[in-house]
Chains A and B, each alone.
Chain A
Amino acid sequence: MSELNENQQTTTNRRTFLKAGVATASMGLIPGVNLIGLSQAAITDGSAASDKQRWGMLIDTNKCESGCTACVDACNKEFNIKPSKKPSQTVQFIRKVTVRHKLTKVETSLPLMCQHCENPPCVDVCPTGASMKRADGIVKVDMHRCIGCRYCMMACPYKARSFIHEEVTEQMAYAPRGKGSVDSCNLCVHRIDENRENPRNPACVDACNSKGHKAMIFGDINDLKSNLNKALKKHQSRELRSELGLNTGVRYRGI
Chain B
Amino acid sequence: MSKLIKLFLFSTLLALASSVSTESAKETSLGKLTYPAVQGKRCVINDTMEMRKNHMNYITHQRAETTRLGKRWNKKTHKNNFSIEKCINCHARDEKGKPVKLKLGSGKLNAEHFCQSCHNYTAVTIDCFSCHSATPTGKVKIISKSKKKSK
A and B interact physically: yes
Which of chain A's residues has its CB closest to B69's CB?
A48
User: Contacting B144 at CB < 8 Å: which of A4, A12, A30?
Assistant: A30
Which of chain A's residues has its CB closest to B38's CB?
A35
**A173 near B74 (CB under 8 angstroms)?**
no
Give B127-150 as 1s and 0s: 1 = Cβ < 8 Å from A's Cβ atoms.
Answer: 100111100111111111111110
**B97 near A25 (CB under 8 angstroms)?**
yes
| Chain A stretch 42-77: residues in CB contact (< 8 A) with chain B | 42-49
**B78 near A37 (CB under 8 angstroms)?**
no
Distance (whole angstroms) from the CB of A160 to the closest CB of chain B:
19
| Chain A stretch 1-28: residues in CB contact (< 8 A) with chain B | 1-2, 4, 8-9, 12, 16-17, 20-21, 23-25, 27-28
A33 to B112, CA, bound (A): 19
**A144 near B89 (CB under 8 angstroms)?**
no
User: Contacting B146 at CB < 8 Å: which of A2, A32, A171, A174?
Assistant: A32
User: Contacting A17 at CB < 8 Å: which of B64, B137, B144, B147?
Assistant: B137
A30 to B77, CA, bound (A): 33
**B75 near A2 (CB under 8 angstroms)?**
yes
Question: Which segment of A92-100, A114-122, A162-170 sits at the interface?
Answer: A162-170
Which of chain A's residues has its CB closest to B94's CB?
A28
B113 at the interface (CB under 8 A from A): no
Interface of A is mostly: loop
**A193 near B72 (CB under 8 angstroms)?**
yes
B111 at the interface (CB under 8 A from A): no
A112 at the interface (CB under 8 A from B): no
A150 to B141, CA, bound (A): 43
Question: A48-B69, A174-B85, A177-B131 in contact; A24/B74 too (CB < 8 A)?
Answer: no
Question: A24-B97, A144-B63, A180-B130 in contact; A34/B143 too (CB < 8 A)?
Answer: yes
Question: A41-B85, A173-B133 in contact; A9/B96 too (CB < 8 A)?
Answer: no
B85: chain A residues at CB < 8 Å are 39, 41, 173-174
B32 at the interface (CB under 8 A from A): no
A38 to B79, CA, bound (A): 14
A16: chain B residues at CB < 8 Å are 139
Q: Chain A interface residue count: which class? A: 35 or more
A161 to B9, CA, bound (A): 52
A169 to B135, CA, bound (A): 10
Distance (whole angstroms) from the CB of A43 to the closest CB of chain B:
6
**B64 near A38 (CB under 8 angstroms)?**
no
| Chain B stretch 9-63: residues in CB contact (< 8 A) with chain A | 38-41, 43, 63
**B96 near A25 (CB under 8 angstroms)?**
yes
B98 at the interface (CB under 8 A from A): yes
B71 at the interface (CB under 8 A from A): yes
**A173 near B143 (CB under 8 angstroms)?**
no
A interface residues with partner B (beta carbon < 8 Å): 1-2, 4, 8-9, 12, 16-17, 20-21, 23-25, 27-30, 32-49, 132, 134-136, 142-144, 167-174, 176-181, 189, 193
Q: List 14 A-B contacts (CB under 8 A).
A: A12-B138, A23-B139, A24-B96, A29-B96, A33-B97, A35-B40, A36-B143, A38-B139, A39-B140, A134-B69, A142-B68, A171-B132, A173-B138, A176-B131
B interface residues with partner A (beta carbon < 8 Å): 38-41, 43, 63-65, 67-75, 77-78, 83, 85-86, 88-90, 93-99, 103, 127, 130-133, 136-149
